[in-house]
């Protein structure tokens, strides 16, 4: 099914490219009335499927590294393979080449994010009101408050928003309309450290280096946070639930041994029958 879908999508691109070239070469030719190819249900389904897959493929192609590819060579490679002709890259080498290409592109992208994060934090630490801890976490107090501060073992209730350096919002309890409660020692290190600086009612802005966030890998399964990403959070502390050490369980009392029946009682029981 996947192969069929890909073929249909590629055919759609072939036809689109061919039509574009044909129009370019025949600017002075009188326009030809479009041919109605939807003469039956099968034709209609085929056209609709091709259009649907073509639209989807066009969107996916935009996710290529830097969104770049050579459409002419893409179409040429497809046509050559479809005809069974000899391709410029051997078929058995195609997957290996693509894997290496995308792996290298991913490494380049993550290194770019790493450098951007380092440059951002270096400039940000010099801004008024921004403080930097020994770990490299940066924070800014937006709304001060006085009072007890949570420990790493406590649970806290917060409202928050999270942003990438390009301003893209990747998470927000405010948008969901529901604050979140969690043990402070079960989140990213930047949060564990940063929220311990806060008192209930305060609001801080945290600038979290990748090593205090989601590390080199980012969020798993294609999540919204890429590897090496420096993150920005706005956090409002709403409540603290101190950790309570559970009381040790009382030792179980040994059961009293059952009394053995005496010979006399056994005899009496028999005599009553």
Residues serving a catalytic function are: 160, 170-171, 188, 214, 233
Partnered with residue 161 across adjacent β-strands are 172, 234
- Report the candidate in 205, 189, 209, 234 with the shortest Cα–Cα distance to residue 119: 209
Residue 244: CA count within 13 A, CB half-sphere: 5
Contact between 180 and 117 under an 8 Å Cβ cutoff? The reply is: no
**Exposed/middle/buried for 12, CB within 10 Å: 0-12, 13-18, 19+?**
buried
Render the burial of 234-256: b for 16+ CB within 10 Å, e for the rest.
bbbbeebeeeeeeeeeeeeeeee
Q: Tell me the H-state helices in 165-218.
A: 173-176, 189-195
CB-based contacts of 34-42 (< 8 A; 24+ apart in sequence): none
80-102: b or e for each residue (b if 16 or more CB lie within 10 Å)? eeeeeeeeeeeeeeeeeeeeeee
DSSP state of 66: G
Distance CA 191, CA 189 (A): 5
């Amino acid at each position: 099914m996947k192969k069929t879908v890909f073929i249909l999508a590629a055919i759609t691109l072939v036809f689109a490219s061919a039509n574009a070239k044909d129009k370019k070469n025949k600017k002075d030719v009188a326009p030809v009335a479009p041919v109605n190819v939807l003469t039956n249900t099968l034709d209609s389904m085929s056209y609709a499927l091709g259009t649907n897959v073509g639209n989807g493929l066009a969107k996916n192609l935009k996710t290529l590294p830097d969104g770049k590819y050579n459409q002419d060579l893409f179409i040429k490679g497809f046509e050559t393979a479809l005809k069974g002709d000899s391709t410029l890259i051997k078929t058995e080498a195609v997957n290996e080449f693509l894997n290496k290409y995308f792996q290298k592109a991913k490494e380049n992208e993550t290194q770019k994010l790493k450098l951007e994060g380092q440059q951002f934090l270096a400039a940000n630490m010099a801004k008024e009101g921004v403080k930097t801890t020994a770990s490299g976490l940066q924070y800014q107090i937006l709304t001060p408050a006085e009072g007890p501060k949570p420990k790493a073992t406590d649970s806290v209730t917060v409202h928050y928003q999270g942003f990438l350096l390009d301003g893209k919002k990747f998470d927000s309890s405010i948008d969901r309309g529901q604050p979140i409660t969690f043990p402070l020692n079960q989140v990213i290190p930047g949060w564990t450290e940063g929220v311990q600086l806060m008192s209930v009612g305060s609001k801080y802005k945290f600038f979290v280096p990748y090593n205090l966030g989601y590390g080199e890998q980012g969020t798993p399964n294609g999540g919204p946070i890429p590897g090496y990403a420096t993150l920005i959070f706005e956090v409002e502390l709403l409540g603290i639930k101190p950790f309570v050490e559970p009381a040790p369980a009382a030792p179980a009392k040994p059961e009293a041994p059952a009394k053995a029946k005496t010979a006399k009682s056994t005899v009496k029981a028999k005599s009553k029958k």
